[in-house]
Chains A and B, each alone.
Chain A
Amino acid sequence: MTVIAAHATPTRWWHSRAVYRFMRHHLALVGIAMITLLVLACVIGPYALPYDSLHIDLRARFAPPLSGHHYLGTDPLGRDLAARLLMAGRISLLVGVSAMLLSTLIGTLVGVTAGYRGGWVGAALMRTVDGFLSYPSIFLVLALAATLRPSPVMITVIIAVTSWMETARIVEAEVRSLREREFVQAARMVGLSGKHIMFREILPNAMGPIIVAASLAVARAILLEAYISFLGYGIQPPLPSWGNMLNGAQQYLASAPWLAIIPGAAITIAVTSFNFIGDGLRDALDVRNDHI
């Protein structure tokens, strides 16, 4: 297949300029390091801690951080905050990453179809994107979460269904410009099917912007989950998530501020890390800088 060979890269990927540029992006490396630590802590940590995240001990309520073996203190039911934080991290990170995968899939499918087909199909799809983007995301997410049963899977689906539009827009613009390139015309002349051209010829060349959008989408999804869980419509207790750990924290702000500070710090660290990684990827893959 000369068509494919024409744009295949001869070098191995880890020798590419992109990897080299990414490795020189300090903030991105910090982001990678922090995410790796967070994931390791959330996966292994709960086994290493002396307390179970659901163990209630009413004699140890509101213990401040560093009291005895409660390294991060306890909550109003005397549950160990460190254990809950790590268990919550599993849920929050999993929901964030899964929602990103799903929203990237939807966004890519819509974007490729709209960009390649063009015409009224493309116009209709892109106007739908505009329509969804007109809704402040949290209004849409809350309305859906309040009516549908808020299991972790459903929350993931709701977040994905309300945040695929950015990816769709980026992919559509990319595909629309790639569609006119010679290798696509060549593929068309060879007689390859539209589906083959869309997903085998064009899509691999549009991966850069998709990867960047995806890394930023994780950050966004973690934040959205935190918002709706904080407001009481996301992940439901006793299952902990970083957002719902903050749900009751406001009323104890004066007496037990660590209940608010610690889970919020975890969210901020995770989201910042993904934003750093996204920034590094954008520089490395040389994606136009028209989105924050």
Chain B
Amino acid sequence: MSGFLLNRLSQSIVLLVIVSIIGFTVLNLMPGGPLAQFGLDPGMTQKDVERLAAQLGLNRPLWIQYLDWAWRLLQGDWGHSFRDGSSVLAVIGRHLLATLLLMGTSTAFAIAVGAWIGIRGATHRYSLFDYCATAGAMVALSVPTFWFGLIGIYIFTLKLGWVPAGNMYTIGDGSVLDYLHHLILPSLVLSLVHVAIWSRYMRTATLDALSQDFVKTARAKGVSERRILLKHVVGNALLPMITLAGMQLPSILTGALVTETVFTWPGMGRLFLDSLGYSDYPVVMGLLIFSAVLVVLGNLIADIIIATVDPRIRLG
């Protein structure tokens, strides 16, 4: 186990270095660079811009800037917001929980519903249910998340009045029930695509497990179909789903950004868009790196979990 862990850990570190190089390059090689916004400001002379560049260390060779920047990232110094001067990590921290809450709820829902649809599709293969689930999944994968959100608001808020159209809580209320009430629609909207993906994978994985020898053995022993399914098949089919959950993190984060915009949910996605609007370069940069770090760590954790559960993986 320690060999596997060490190997996987070093892979993640290499990946983080590459991620940081990509992020740094992308944002520094763009025309204009981080000081472009001051070029249009009549109050700033060329000299002021140069002084600011020297102050921020932007006149040094690129690779030194990168090393300096990466070193400060490691120390937790992610720079300060141009908007209010507070540290970038603190700003991200204020929005992280809202995003994690949204992502967590919708992922849990997507796994539960997707697994159910997938298992049923596999046990009732080529039935009407299976065909509808397959075609439905393909359509669900094609619906733009924000459009689904708009339709959701139109039906459930404007027509039926069941749920609020946005925000995370009612000002002056803020009870757990109130939070949940605001959480329902955005997390359902965010989960649609992932219900589709999970159901497809779960169907394949269940079919795969159903054709294994241990299922034949269990059937030969006279174990009931229901018990085979619950005890032997679902467990084996669910295992690879842990890796899948890690792999889906980027697409969940993308969905979260869009969902948060439609539902004015105060998470990282909205923060990212707001910061773009204000040209708040350190926060944009910080969020870009942070989202990738989250993905790398998520995958690492998924692999560690699956290695703990499944000895075949860690023993190679």
Do A and B interact with each other, yes or no? yes
Near A by CB (< 8 A), chain B positions 261-301 give 261-262, 272-273, 276, 284, 287-288, 291-292, 295-296
With known contacts A143-B284, A231-B261, A231-B273, A135–B138 Cβ distance under 8 A: no
Q: Which of B47-55, B150-158, B210-218, B220-228 contacts A (4 or more CB under 8 A)?
A: B150-158
Are A275 and B141 touching (Cβ within 8 A)? yes
Interface centre among B19, B147, B288 (most CB of A within 10 A): B147
Residues of A within 8 A of B200 (CB): 292
Residues of A within 8 A of B250 (CB): 133-137
With known contacts A139-B254, A148-B31, A260-B154, A134–B147 Cβ distance under 8 A: no
Are A275 and B142 touching (Cβ within 8 A)? yes
With known contacts A131-B22, A135-B19, A272–B142 Cβ distance under 8 A: yes
Residues of A within 8 A of B144 (CB): 223, 226-227, 230, 264, 267-268, 271
Are B22 and A143 touching (Cβ within 8 A)? no
Q: Which of A67-75, A178-186, A250-258 contacts B (4 or more CB under 8 A)?
A: A250-258
With known contacts A148-B30, A227-B258, A246-B150, A132–B22 Cβ distance under 8 A: yes
Are B291 and A27 touching (Cβ within 8 A)? no
CB distance from A73 to the nearest CB of B (A): 15
With known contacts A134-B19, A135-B250, A272–B295 Cβ distance under 8 A: no
- Complex: how many Å from CA A25 to CA B139? 16
With known contacts A268-B139, A275-B138, A131–B146 Cβ distance under 8 A: no
With known contacts A133-B250, A134-B292, A27–B135 Cβ distance under 8 A: yes
Are B288 and A139 touching (Cβ within 8 A)? yes
- Complex: how many Å from CA A147 to CA B276? 9
Are A134 and B296 touching (Cβ within 8 A)? yes
Q: Which chain B residue lies CB-closest to A130?
A: B15
Are B153 and A253 touching (Cβ within 8 A)? yes
Over the window 234-272 of chain A, the binary record of Cβ atoms lying under 8 Å from chain B Cβ atoms (1 yes, 0 no) is 000000000000100110011001001100100110011
With known contacts A144-B30, A227-B258, A289-B204, A136–B253 Cβ distance under 8 A: yes
| Cβ contact of B21, chosen from A131, A136, A147, A257, cutoff 8 A | A131
Residues of A within 8 A of B153 (CB): 250, 253
CB distance from B243 to the nearest CB of A (A): 12
Give the secondary structure class of A's interface.
helix
Is A233 an interface residue when CB atoms closer than 8 A count as contact? yes
CB distance from A166 to the nearest CB of B (A): 12
Near B by CB (< 8 A), chain A positions 123-163 give 127-128, 130-140, 142-144, 146-148
Q: Which chain B residue lies CB-closest to A276?
A: B138
| Cβ contact of B147, chosen from A131, A233, A267, cutoff 8 A | A267
Q: Which chain B residue lies CB-closest to A146?
A: B276
Give the secondary structure class of B's interface.
helix
Is B97 an interface residue when CB atoms closer than 8 A count as contact? no
- Complex: how many Å from CA A159 to CA B313? 36
- Complex: how many Å from CA A142 to CA B272? 9
Classify chain A's interface size: 35 or more
Residues of A within 8 A of B142 (CB): 219, 223, 268, 271-272, 274-275
With known contacts A140-B26, A275-B141, A135–B14 Cβ distance under 8 A: no
- Complex: how many Å from CA A127 to CA B30? 23
| Cβ contact of A135, chosen from B147, B204, B276, B295, cutoff 8 A | B295
Interface centre among A133, A138, A230, A268 (most CB of B within 10 A): A138
Residues of B within 8 A of A80 (CB): none
Q: Which chain B residue lies CB-closest to A279?
A: B138
- Complex: how many Å from CA A231 to CA B270? 11
With known contacts A246-B147, A250-B150, A264-B147, A136–B257 Cβ distance under 8 A: yes
Are A136 and B143 touching (Cβ within 8 A)? no
CB distance from A177 to the nearest CB of B (A): 21
- Complex: how many Å from CA A138 to CA B269? 10
- Complex: how many Å from CA A148 to CA B36? 11
Are B288 and A261 touching (Cβ within 8 A)? no
Q: Which chain B residue lies CB-closest to A261?
A: B151
Are A27 and B257 touching (Cβ within 8 A)? no
Q: Which chain B residue lies CB-closest to A272?
A: B142
Residues of B within 8 A of A268 (CB): 139, 142-144, 147
Q: Which chain B residue lies CB-closest to A145?
A: B276
CB distance from B289 to the nearest CB of A (A): 9
CB distance from A256 to the nearest CB of B (A): 11
Over the window 31-46 of chain B, the binary record of Cβ atoms lying under 8 Å from chain A Cβ atoms (1 yes, 0 no) is 1100010000000000
Is B9 an interface residue when CB atoms closer than 8 A count as contact? no
Are B146 and A227 touching (Cβ within 8 A)? yes
With known contacts A230-B146, A231-B261, A231-B273, A140–B15 Cβ distance under 8 A: no
**Which B residues fall within an 8 A CB radius of A?**
14-15, 18-19, 21-23, 26-27, 30-32, 36, 135, 138-139, 141-147, 150-151, 153-154, 158, 197, 200-201, 204, 249-251, 253-254, 257-258, 261-262, 272-273, 276, 284, 287-288, 291-292, 295-296
A-B contact sample (4 more), CB < 8 A, given A134-B295, A136-B292, A227-B144: A136-B295, A139-B257, A139-B272, A146-B284
7 contacts between A and B (CB under 8 A): A131-B15, A131-B18, A136-B291, A139-B253, A227-B254, A227-B258, A231-B261
The 5 closest A-B pairs by CB, nearest first: A264-B147, A131-B18, A271-B142, A136-B253, A272-B142
